[in-house]
Structure 1
Amino acid sequence: MRIGLRKKLVLLIALMSYLLTALDNSLVLTSLTRIQADLHLSQISLSWIQDAYGLAFGSFILLSGRLGDMYGRKLMMEIALALFAVSSLVTAISTAAAMTIASRFVQGMGAAILAPTSLALLVDYFTEPMLSKAIAWYSSIAGLGMSIGLILGGILTSYLNWRVGFYLNAAVALGLFILSVKTLEQKQAAQADSRIDILGSLASVIGSGLLVYAVNGARQMAPFMIAALVILAGLFVIEKRVDNPVLPLKLIANRGRLLADLSRAFLVAAAMGFYFFDSEFLQEVLHYSPLLTGLAYLPMTITLFVVAILVPRMVEKLDNQVVLLSGSGAIMLAFVWAVFVNGNNYLTILLVPELLLGVGQGLALAPQTNLAINGVKPQESGAASGILNMFHQLGGVLGIAVMVQMGIKLSNGQNFAGQFHLAMIAGLVIAVLLVLMSILIYFNHEGRK
């Protein structure tokens, strides 16, 4: 196969695989009411349709990134796509709550492998300047996938059936699996020592899983949160003493990379919280159908895509730090508008924040990714990608949890419009923290010049 063609196909595999992980999560949001009616689910079972995916994703992300370094991207990509295809098909034909929840959990495991492996593939196959362009496209996929999933979910739910989306997922994953078998090379196994850090792997899976469950599923958060923090603290102790750690501590000991990872968590926390309440506001207050709710995200989707295309040139001229700070500022302005501008329709309340979020994410995501993998050796690119995606996933879970708690518990029985306003205040606080983190990243870079 010609080198140019192989690289184009690798880019397609990486981008489409990452798109699947984002698309699958949002596809469900506009379909939950129909899924509940079709499968006769209780409210608790319905919540686990979403939570099972996020729990598995958050639990296995660290381990998955490291396994790609140890056993090669080709093998891990094929395992992930096989898991994703089979579990999507099972979800599509499911007739019971337990079957659906289990298949969604397996989907989350597949997504946990796909996310870091797809980014590591780009690092393996591309060099500058094409690498910066590929990373910009990769980084924009998370926001695009969320928006496209909401639109597609609304269309399918309104005109066909919620199961069609999972059939499509299975077909795309199968096609990518076949393409991976024929395209990817075996050379990606970069670790000579392939012994698994068993204790570290168990601690990362259990600790991350408990952390996700504590904020996204547990009725009593405190005991699960404490257990998660104790186990994750134990993970750091373990990783100091092993030769082949699942979490190479030197990757987060680097201040620049750690700040980039933290800024990703704040960005995704703000964005996911907004998506959640935006969707609910459109349906509960403005009485939009699932289809119209999905279409309402189209301006943000287009904006994010267009800005993401421009980012590589902007980074080349202005540096990652300046572009990241600009994007963070746009996200903060989105929440300023949502908090302080009053109105009773989509154009007044939501359109401007959506456009600003599209600009902000388009500007910020690629620089964060660049900074998070900057200077990482090829044999550790999977681990670095896993860490970034762990912060991405946990940020989304925490953002929704914080904004929901703020909106519901402090609203004192207000209607949803009141809950929305309180949630946007919480989102503004998160966005301010994102800007402060971006300022630290800027001065950390300036101090090293």
Structure 2
Amino acid sequence: MDIKRRFILTIVLLSYFVTAINGAIVITGLTDMAEELGLNQSALSWVQNAYVLAWGGFMLLGGRLSDTFGRRQILNLALVLFGIGSLLAGIAPSAIVLIVSRFIQGIGAAVLAPTSLALIIDYFKGQERVKAVAWYSSISGLGMCVGLIIGGILASFFSWRYGFFIYLPLILFMLVISLKVLPKGVKENNEIRFDIWGTTYSVLGIFSFVYAINGAKNTWLWLSVALCFLFLFIRQEKKVSDPIMPLRLFNGIRTRANIARLLFAGAMMGFYFFISEFLQEVSHFTPLWVGIAFFPLTLSTFWGAMRVPKAVKLYGNNKTLFAGLTLMLIGFIGMLKMDAESSYWSGIAIPMLFLGFGQGLVMSPLTNLGILNVQPKDSGAATGVVNAAHQIGCSVGLSVMVTVSSDAAEMAEICHIAMLVGFGFTLIVFAIMFLDKYKLKRKIWNM
């Protein structure tokens, strides 16, 4: 790999790392934020919801922007937006400034994530792309755990505000590399066609859907609004010559991979959230020790992701995905045995090893299949769909787990229900990706 592509891969990995650690760092500082800024529970929830809504709502737009206006320009725009949001959040004197800042951060992340992944499609081919995607995929789980540790240290010994300031030097570094390495990439003809109505419908549709499952009081009303905009969006994409989300992206395997990614992300986000709550409320871990407690998951995820290039080369995406999902099912089964009397090592750490290694094996094949055979002109749009599926999945999974466990009184029982949902989501992913095989269908039918 030449020096230019090493620098490009550095930008890609740092971009995803920044967005991955952001949520975890904020989680550890929520209590201090509420105390310092006088936030009630509703305002505090919007510190998270504003980021999630912006990220989910602008994801497809973020993916198509770099296809239309060039990778370097849009990547730099995303970095600047994320940096401005981080700076404003760090100095926020009130709830409204903090929430608006988080919304700006979310827009930056929505543009940054698909643009950086599109760079992998542009500059890496064959086995090098498999390796690059493996590194990219490993950053997600690694970033979440590192974010918990960094956030715990900052919240415990300094201030939650430093959790936003630490992004600034990284962003500056990425901007310098981008300006040095990436070409301008402007279209030669100055008549850039942009799907304005498709953009509007996609933003409003995804925004309504994410809001329906993560914040709205009248869920069914907002789901209906989301479906209306989705209908208008699809109709628009069918007739426009340069759509924001080309429907040709949705062939059989890419569609299944993105649906599977949505459910996979939901299972793992719920896992992170509820196990963190369990460790603090039942096991009485501090925020710092919660981050440390996730080390088995972090290390096994990274190790699994590093095994992916060789596994995909020898066995292909499907067999690697099969092995990863099997390990995840075993991990969730282990978590189902956890109760208030369980020790950390036997009840959580050992199942984490299976979940982490499985997660490391699963993410890269799902990404590979989600962008399989995508034309270069659609690479940004395709990666936007992959990232939108992941982000929306996080909201869906967490919301489903919160809803189905709402009648439970004890955290151990709540956590048990959440792990059962995670197991169910993973089982559905397994079915989506493998039960379409004719021989397997026939075998099951004749059992």
Confirm or deny a common fold (TM above 0.5).
yes
Does the 8 A contact of 1:122 with 1:134 survive in 2? yes
Residues 56 and 391 of structure 1, relative CA distance in 2, 3 Å threshold: same
Residues 189 and 333 of structure 1, relative CA distance in 2, 3 Å threshold: farther
**Corresponding residue for 2:271?**
274
Equivalents in 2 of 1:355, 1:92: separation in Å?
35
**Corresponding residue for 1:318?**
315
**Corresponding residue for 1:430?**
425
Taking the TM superposition and a 5 Å limit, the aligned residue runs for 1:71-110 are 71-110=69-108
| Structure 1 residue 345 displacement after superposition | 2.4
Equivalents in 2 of 1:345, 1:107: separation in Å?
38
* Structure 2 residue 9 is the aligned partner of structure 1 residue 14: no
**Corresponding residue for 1:420?**
415
**Corresponding residue for 1:286?**
283
Taking the TM superposition and a 5 Å limit, the aligned residue runs for 1:144-163 are 144-163=142-161
Instruction: Give deviations 1:334-354, integer Å, cap 9, x for gaps.
Output: 211111355422112211232
* Structure 2 residue 348 is the aligned partner of structure 1 residue 355: no
| Structure 1 residue 189 displacement after superposition | 5.4
Residues 68 and 189 of structure 1, relative CA distance in 2, 3 Å threshold: farther
Taking the TM superposition and a 5 Å limit, the aligned residue runs for 1:96-135 are 96-135=94-133
| Structure 1 residue 214 displacement after superposition | 0.4
Letter in 2 for 1:318: Y
Equivalents in 2 of 1:289, 1:143: separation in Å?
20
Equivalents in 2 of 1:300, 1:190: separation in Å?
47
**Corresponding residue for 1:331?**
328
Equivalents in 2 of 1:441, 1:92: separation in Å?
49
Give the share of equivalent positions with the same residue, in percent.
Answer: 41
Equivalents in 2 of 1:26, 1:55: separation in Å?
17
| Structure 1 residue 440 displacement after superposition | 3.8
Residues 79 and 315 of structure 1, relative CA distance in 2, 3 Å threshold: same
Paired residue total: 440
Q: Which runs of 5+ in 2 are unaligned?
A: 442-447
Secondary structure, in 3 states, of the residue corresponding to 2:2? helix
Match of 2:24 among 18, 23, 26: 26
Secondary structure, in 3 states, of the residue corresponding to 1:217? coil
Moved more, 291-300 or 190-199: 190-199
| Structure 1 residue 187 displacement after superposition | 3.4
Residues 191 and 274 of structure 1, relative CA distance in 2, 3 Å threshold: farther
Residues 300 and 356 of structure 1, relative CA distance in 2, 3 Å threshold: same
Moved more, 49-58 or 436-445: 436-445
Does the 8 A contact of 1:66 with 1:383 survive in 2? yes
Letter in 1 for 2:401: M
Does the 8 A contact of 1:136 with 1:311 survive in 2? yes
Moved more, 419-428 or 93-102: 419-428
Equivalents in 1 of 2:46, 2:345: separation in Å?
33
Equivalents in 1 of 2:90, 2:221: separation in Å?
35
Letter in 1 for 2:75: M
Residues 441 and 364 of structure 1, relative CA distance in 2, 3 Å threshold: farther
Does the 8 A contact of 1:331 with 1:357 survive in 2? yes
Letter in 2 for 1:217: G
TM-score scaled to structure 1, two decimals?
0.95
TM-score scaled to structure 2, two decimals?
0.95
Letter in 2 for 1:294: G
Does the 8 A contact of 1:191 with 1:379 survive in 2? no
| Structure 1 residue 106 displacement after superposition | 0.4
Residues 341 and 246 of structure 1, relative CA distance in 2, 3 Å threshold: same
Moved more, 386-395 or 136-145: 136-145
Letter in 1 for 2:386: L
Residues 149 and 110 of structure 1, relative CA distance in 2, 3 Å threshold: same
Instruction: Give deviations 1:233-283, integer Å, cap 9, x for gaps.
Output: 21111110100111100101x000001111111111100001010000001
Equivalents in 1 of 2:51, 2:69: separation in Å?
25
**Corresponding residue for 1:42?**
40
| Structure 1 residue 193 displacement after superposition | 6.2
Equivalents in 1 of 2:89, 2:439: separation in Å?
46
Does the 8 A contact of 1:89 with 1:166 survive in 2? yes
Runs of 4+ in 1 over 3 A off after TM superposition: 187-193, 340-343, 440-446
Taking the TM superposition and a 5 Å limit, the aligned residue runs for 1:182-197 are 182-187=180-185, 194-197=192-195
Instruction: Give deviations 1:366-403, integer Å, cap 9, x for gaps.
Output: 00111111111100000000001110000000000001
Residues 326 and 213 of structure 1, relative CA distance in 2, 3 Å threshold: same
| Structure 1 residue 135 displacement after superposition | 0.8
| Structure 1 residue 444 displacement after superposition | 11
Letter in 2 for 1:431: T
Equivalents in 2 of 1:440, 1:55: separation in Å?
33
Equivalents in 2 of 1:290, 1:165: separation in Å?
14
**Corresponding residue for 2:174?**
176
Q: Which runs of 5+ in 1 are unaligned?
A: none
Residues 264 and 444 of structure 1, relative CA distance in 2, 3 Å threshold: farther
Letter in 2 for 1:43: Q
Match of 2:302 among 292, 298, 305: 305
Letter in 2 for 1:73: R
Does the 8 A contact of 1:68 with 1:189 survive in 2? no
**Corresponding residue for 1:51?**
49
Letter in 2 for 1:329: T
Does the 8 A contact of 1:69 with 1:380 survive in 2? yes
Match of 1:201 among 194, 199, 213: 199
| Structure 1 residue 170 displacement after superposition | 1.8
| Structure 1 residue 191 displacement after superposition | 9.5
**Corresponding residue for 2:363?**
365
**Corresponding residue for 2:2?**
4
Does the 8 A contact of 1:197 with 1:244 survive in 2? yes
| Structure 1 residue 186 displacement after superposition | 2.0
Moved more, 31-40 or 45-54: 31-40
Question: What is the RMSD computed on CA atoms of the aligned residues?
Answer: 1.8
Taking the TM superposition and a 5 Å limit, the aligned residue runs for 1:383-398 are 383-398=381-396
